[in-house]
Amino acid sequence: MKILIIEDEPSLRELMERTLTKEHYIVETAENYAQAEEKLALYNYDCILLDIMLPDGNGLHLLEELKAQDKRESVIIISARDSLEDKILGLEQGADDYLPKPFHLMELTARIRSVIRRSQGNGKKGYTLGNVYLDPESHRVEVEGQELPLLKKEFDILAYFMQRPGHLVDKAVLAEAVWGDHADQADNFHFVYAQMKNLRRKLEEAGATIEIKVVYGFGYKLAVNQ
Ligand code: CA
């Protein structure tokens, strides 16, 4: 799960970044409108935390742009301007939630979990595919009901694929989703190959009926074996 924090206030930005990293999210930050605009054009996120008053623009315009581009990201507005008008405007423009500053960090993480869960549909907690179950909240993976211990990146890779079964995933796109922005521009993808190899081996050894297949020259695809 990848989050973009758009916030110009350094101490709050860093505090949120630290907190969410501890919660196992992949966290990216933008400190102004221009940076946020650039990141949103290049990368995808699961959730965006959006400050309204930015030094070089209004966060609500960014939200407008995002919706015009038909982006699917969940958006939570975080604003010091606890005005009803902002809240209504933001929600009308398609924000998923609104959190007035100052807020409690526990409240922030709860709201993030809730909008991500909602965007994944029906308040369902985890993903099931074949005999594999993955719960993004508790970071638990089960194969045939038995827990499968995975390292953090292995879990992130599997979570990414379980949300997109059957999709062909480019290794650069995967690198960006799991390792963060700019990983897609790496000179080589050895870090992806190594983790992927271990994950595929673990799934196979556990008797999983799903398999991340290599599509040569392109990337990977999650398939259910009959
Ligand atoms: Ca601000």
CA of 92 to the centre of ligand 1 (A): 21
CA of 14 to the centre of ligand 1 (A): 14
Whether 108 and 158 map to the same domain: the answer is no
The overall pTM is greater than 0.85: no
| Rounded CA separation 86/221 (Å) | 42
Neighbours of 127 (CB within 10 A): 18
Non-local CB neighbours of 163 within 8 Å, separated by 6+ positions = 120, 127
DSSP 58-79: EHHHHHHHHHHTT---EEEEEE
Q: Is the pLDDT of residue 83 over 80?
A: no
Listed residues 120, 138, 173: the one ending a domain: 120
Over the stretch 107-132, which tens digit does the pLDDT of each residue have? 999 999 989 888 776 555 788 899 99
Q: Is the pLDDT of residue 12 over 90?
A: yes
Whether 146 and 89 map to the same domain: the answer is no
Over the stretch 22-64, which tens digit does the pLDDT of each residue have? 999 999 999 999 999 999 999 989 999 999 999 999 999 999 9
**Which domain CATH number covers 143?**
1.10.10.10
Whether 48 and 116 map to the same domain: the answer is yes
pLDDT at 50: 96
Mean pLDDT calculated for residue range 58-82: 87
Higher model confidence: residue 12 or residue 120? 12
Whether 116 and 7 map to the same domain: the answer is yes
pLDDT at 180: 92
Q: Which residues surround ligand 1, an ion (CB under 5 A)?
A: 8, 51, 53
Domain, as residue range, for 138:
127-224
Q: How many domains does the chain have?
A: 2
CA of 10 to the centre of ligand 1 (A): 10
Whether 187 and 116 map to the same domain: the answer is no
